Amino acid sequence: MNPESKDDPVVYQSVVLKNAAPYQYMKVCLVLEDKSVKLSAVDLKQFIITGLKSLHGEVGAALHFDVLKYNKDTLSAFLRVPGSGLVKLWSSLTLLGSYNEQSCAFRVLQVSPFLLSLTGNSRELQLD
């Protein structure tokens, strides 16, 4: 094909990228039966790794994720996980049901490929 020929048809190509973002960000909250229990960020991460290991085995426990921000008072955290590991992390959080022999549940509040979008929630917006 000669690039200068005017008789050649122009070829267009459509490219669709699904989950092109390298990371997914999750805003989660741990709800414990005993409200007085406080976990450190290290305890929270170890608890999540235990859940990954119980559901997905050693390969699941090796999933790299980060606790970007953690609030000990509200037990809420911002997690960063590679896009390919989002389903594994989310499913293991969903199935964690007890911490130190008391009932608990993780609530996934928001998920986004953009960390900035987790800082605000339009459902909680109050106009003065």
Residue 6: the pLDDT is 66
Q: Is 51 helix (H, G, I), strand (E, B) or coil?
A: helix
DSSP state of 116: G
Q: What is the pLDDT of residue 4?
A: 58
pLDDT in tens, 96-121: 999 988 999 999 999 999 888 888 77
CB 97 within 8 A of CB 31: no
Residue 31 and residue 96 in contact, taking contact as beta carbons nearer than 8 Å: no
Per-residue pLDDT at 21: 81
pLDDT value of residue 14 = 75
Alpha carbons 107 and 113: distance in angstroms, whole number: 18
Is residue 74 classed as helix, strand or coil in its secondary structure?
A: coil
Which value, in Å, is the radius of gyration of the alpha carbons in the chain?
A: 21
pLDDT in tens, 6-62: 677 888 887 666 657 899 999 999 999 988 888 999 999 999 999 999 999 998 899
Domain boundaries, the chain: 23-117
Chain segment 75-87, per-residue pLDDT in tens: 999 999 999 999 9
Output the pLDDT for position 43: 95
CATH of 23-117, one of 3.30.390.50, 3.40.190.10, 3.90.550.10, 3.30.70.3250: 3.30.70.3250
CA distance linking residue 100 with residue 38, whole number of Å: 12
- The pLDDT value recorded for residue 111 is 93
What is the distance between the alpha carbons of residues 105 and 32, in angstroms, rounded to a whole number?
A: 7
How many Å apart are CA 78 and CA 116, to the nearest integer?
Answer: 11
pTM to 2 decimals? 0.78
How confident is the model at residue 117, as a pLDDT? 84
